[in-house]
Chains A and B, each alone.
Chain A
Amino acid sequence: MSRAALDSLVAAFPQHILETTDRLGDEVAIVAPAGLLEIANWLRNSPELAFNMLSDVTAVDYLARNPRFEVVYQLYSVSKKHRLRLRVPVGAESPSLSSVTSVWLSANWAEREVWDMYGIRFEGHPDLRRVLMYEEFEGHPLRKDYPMQQSQPRMDLRRKERDAVEEYKTLYVDKLAQARKAEP
């Protein structure tokens, strides 16, 4: 069932698909980073495939390999009931990928976690900050070169919180004022 999905994906984007595999009943496509956003949009919008849920985004750190990281997307279609996995290899020097938040809303927090744990940036993400760790944490814990036992430097007591009123003004009020000014 999902074999057909994989085949149509390869047929539509032959230049971006590096490899496909079908082991253990999971269909996997290894995708080049440049084509990620385009493929994501196509996968969601195509009527026969209709991958409307992004179940999970995670990354794997293959330390002894180049490219070092691989970001893994688990996709599911609620209407067609088939699954697909996309693996996107990312290099180690300033790793970054385009964000798929505009395609699936669940990518928002999932990509935040990948940034938190692995240090892979996502271009176009609306709010890329750490989600599980605290802001002043140094390093990215799930990388293979982050040791199991590592102590962090002491933090000073936070005197002022993230000023939500300031953020509210910049995010909502000012933007709306600008949008109104831009209207003819």
Chain B
Amino acid sequence: MNRAIADALAAAPERGVQEDVMVLNMGPSHPAMHGTVRMVLTLDGETVIKCDPEIGYLHRGFEKQCENATWSQVFPYTDRLNYCSPLLNNFGYALAVEKMLGIKATDRCNYIRTILGEMARLADHFTSLGAGALELGAMSAFLYAVEARDHIWDLVEEVTGARLTVSFARIGGLKEDLPDNFAERWEATEPRLWDVIKKLDQLSTKNRIFMDRMMNTGVIGADEAVSLGFTGPVLRSTGVAYDIRKDSPYFAYDRVDFEVPVGTNGDNFDRYLVRLEEMKQSISIIRQCLKGLPGGPLNVDDPHIMLPPKELVYNSIEGMINHFKLIFEGIQVPAGEVYSYTEAANGELGFYIVSNGTGKPYKLRVRPPCFYFMGGIDRMIEGGMLSDIIPTFDTINMIGGEVDR
């Protein structure tokens, strides 16, 4: 539909429209461009005729850097990919290397990974919805959302030791187990999260102004979205029910009961509603996992992969040599290639890894979900108005660290 309007505008040279167009640079430093993206817009009044996004302002050479690090040293780099939900990136990468090694993590590890992953997803969705409300002008909704995110981060800090740059996963397991009082702390935090979700719902979902801004803006059709490589909440808002947690379950997702919200129109409002509903489902998943959390060992018991406990490292020569070899040479992953995919907060986060048998990756490719959104965003924006870019950009939740790596 927007394509038709853009074409119609392009097809009016008799009207002298090319004399009236203005090139506007929504540049990298702009309040609404999350994580620095530059969009060169050609405007006719307030209508966008052509949009050319330019990314790469946050490119830090993730893939090149990882070729120089051992398999375990990659974890801090994965934190900084989608920095709103770092735990999901960690676990995605750990899953990829475990698939390459041919090992499966323990049950307890899978449940804990599910719990922490869903908490990271909650944090990401709070950020996205809050920032969306902020940029539309409802600043209070933003501050409520980041307050809720702060509660989640407090809990994450108690488990992992850091709020954002967690590096919690290890190949074959996790850094350490959950603290003993985790269940009580979750019981205390959960009502606050529900409170904020309800407030966000009240402030936005039935708000006439909000609905006017978000409905029928940034529309994308289902077929086009699939062809553009969209995944995650953006694809689900167009009506395609593609969720990796249901289609190829991993961790503990096949043992919990949850629904996947699917929209109809593919506009901004549907994406907002899909994210809001996913938050409620995430809380339900965490509750079920906590109830069914199995005991048993946390990490895989393989000295070629996991570091030995510190008592053995300091007190026995075998432990010391084991530790030494794992740290200096890295885990010796057999040669080959693998593509492993998980459902991150924005969509299909894929890791394509090539190993040549040594302790360092030969090639580590991250398939960032937001990169493809940026590739397809011009179809969602062209033909619309300048003010519609803002909610569109928000609801696709483009994270600079993920797009640019």
Contact = CB atoms under 8 A, between A and B. Distances in A.
Contact of A54 (B42, B50, B229, B248): B229
A109 B178 CA distance: 41
Given A164-B40, A164-B42, A85 B339 contact: yes
A173 to B, nearest CB: 5
B372 A142 contact: no
Nearest to A107: B229
A60 B354 contact: yes
Contacts, number: 132
Given A53-B227, A56-B350, A168-B18, A24 B55 contact: no
A24 B363 contact: no
Given A108-B375, A109-B371, 15 more contacts: A26-B339, A58-B367, A72-B337, A106-B227, A106-B228, A106-B229, A106-B375, A113-B371, A141-B64, A146-B64, A171-B50, A173-B10, A173-B18, A176-B13, A177-B13
16 contacts: A24-B102, A28-B337, A53-B227, A56-B365, A81-B247, A105-B227, A106-B228, A109-B371, A109-B374, A134-B56, A141-B61, A161-B23, A164-B23, A165-B18, A165-B21, A165-B23
Interface in A56-115: 56, 58, 60-61, 72, 74, 78, 81, 83, 85, 104-106, 108-110, 113
Contacts of B49: 168, 172
A125 to B, nearest CB: 13
A154 B187 CA distance: 57
A52 interface: yes
B33 interface: no
A168 B50 contact: yes
Nearest to A143: B64
A74 B100 contact: no
B317 interface: no
A20 interface: no
B352 interface: yes
Chain A contact-residue range equals 35 or more
Contact of A72 (B64, B226, B247, B352): B352
Interface in A142-181: 142, 146, 148, 161-165, 167-169, 171-173, 176-177
The 4 closest A-B pairs by CB, nearest first: A106-B229, A109-B375, A172-B10, A132-B56
B226 A53 contact: yes
A65 to B, nearest CB: 11
Given A53-B227, A142-B63, A161-B40, A168 B21 contact: yes
Interface in B101-156: 102
- Of B10, B231, B339, most buried by chain A (CB within 10 Å of CB) is B339
Given A53-B229, A60-B354, A133-B56, A106 B372 contact: yes
Contacts of B68: 148
Interface of A: 23-26, 28, 52-56, 58, 60-61, 72, 74, 78, 81, 83, 85, 104-106, 108-110, 113, 117, 130-134, 141-142, 146, 148, 161-165, 167-169, 171-173, 176-177
B277 interface: no
Contacts of B247: 81
A83 B59 CA distance: 29
Interface in B273-311: none
A44 B13 CA distance: 37
B228 A56 contact: no
Given A52-B226, A56-B350, A60-B354, A74 B339 contact: yes
Given A106-B375, A165-B23, A173-B13, A55 B348 contact: yes
B63 A74 contact: no
B59 A133 contact: yes
A176 B7 CA distance: 9
Nearest to A112: B375
Contacts of B363: 60-61
A105 B56 contact: no
A56 B352 contact: yes
B32 interface: no
B193 to A, nearest CB: 32
Contacts of B242: 78
Interface in B364-401: 365, 367, 371-372, 374-376
